[in-house]
Amino acid sequence: DAVPEAGLAPLPGSPERATKNPHLTPEIVAAERKKWGLDKPLFPDQLVSYVTSTIQGDLGYSIKYRGQPVVEVVADAAGPTILLIGIGEGIAIVVGLWLGARSGWRRGGTIDRVGNALSLVFYSMPYFVIGMPLIIIFAAELGWFPTSGMSTPGGDKSFLDGLVDLGSHLVRPVTAVALGLIGAYSILMRSSIIETRSEDYVTTARAKGLPDARILRSHAFPNALLPMVTLIAINLGYVVAGAITAEVVFNWPGLGMLTVQALDARDYPLLQAIFLLIAVSVVFANFAADIVYGYLDPRVRA
């Protein structure tokens, strides 16, 4: 093994060792370390170089994908993840808010008991626990849907046939993601609605003789949305981290699957880009939540 100028042996996870080739000479190993800039000190050389390149939009080249620009690799995987998580989040938000609002408004009723019990079950189950029964029952046993992947390989398909094929592959992972998120949204929304039921403006609306449906829709629901905005923003920000288990179970070619592949290949430039994307997503999601707060609650703007 080559010894860097600092006199320390390279870490076992160094990129030049990812090939696991025992015939690499010390000269080749040293050339590989120089190629990736690992022969320079971590601070300030490597840090300054990384920050400068990132600002310029250059995130380096992927080790696993044979020198392909990291930006292109991440961009190719971002589409499937946005499609999967976007649809799953949309379904979870609509169903979770509706179920939580109905359960909290009619506390102790049938919808509350059944809905709250199911929400607690799904909230405690990770994506892979929800996904495995979907694969076993609906793909392996019944054969209604494909077992994995994003599309059926082979053959030229028309636009309509390709869309149908994509939809058949999308049903199970979207269901797993939506069920995993519905529980959290429903539980929090139920608690918020229960709190708003005792507020003065709800009591005043009832004293005016307004029907319950209108009180819930026009008075209780908008005020109960404030904590939901924070939870939705956090989930959207951590879209990559949350997609890892779901995409691995269903072999979905998105950012989650790309993260696992990059970890296995010790593709550090690719991992840095994915982690940077997660950080930026969290910041922008929280920034968007602050803007939405201002529309939902005028007191925030003041």
CA distance 221 to 46: 51
* φ, ψ of residue 61 in degrees (nearest 5): -125, 145
How many helices and strands in the chain, by DSSP H and E?
13, 0
Q: One digit per residue, pLDDT tens: the chain, 302 residues?
A: 444 444 444 445 666 665 566 677 777 777 777 776 777 777 887 788 888 888 888 888 888 888 788 999 999 888 888 888 888 888 999 999 999 888 888 888 888 888 888 888 888 888 778 888 888 888 888 888 887 877 877 767 777 888 888 888 888 899 988 888 888 889 888 888 888 888 888 888 888 888 888 888 888 888 888 888 888 887 776 666 666 788 888 888 888 888 888 888 888 888 889 888 888 888 888 888 888 877 777 766 65
Are residues 176 and 90 in contact, defined by beta-carbon separation less than 8 angstroms? no
Task: Single out the residue of 250, 232, 238, 233 nearest to residue 80, CA to CA.
Answer: 250
Q: What is the DSSP string of 110-174?
A: HHHHHHHHHHHHHHTS-HHHHHHHHIIIIIIIS--S-SSSSS--SS---HHHHHHHHHHHHHHHH
Per-residue pLDDT tens over the stretch 91-143: 999 999 999 888 888 888 888 888 888 888 888 888 778 888 888 888 888 88
How much is the pTM? 0.78
Query: Token pair 């910041």 is at which residue?
Result: 283
Per-residue pLDDT tens over the stretch 144-155: 888 787 787 776
Are residues 176 and 168 in contact, defined by beta-carbon separation less than 8 angstroms? no
Q: What's the Cα-to-Cα distance from 66 to each of 13, 73, 80, 267, rounded to whole Å?
A: 18, 11, 22, 10
* φ, ψ of residue 120 in degrees (nearest 5): -65, -40
Are residues 194 and 104 in contact, defined by beta-carbon separation less than 8 angstroms? yes
pLDDT of residue 95: 92
Cβ neighbour number for residue 186 with a 10 Å cutoff: 28
CA distance 268 to 251: 22
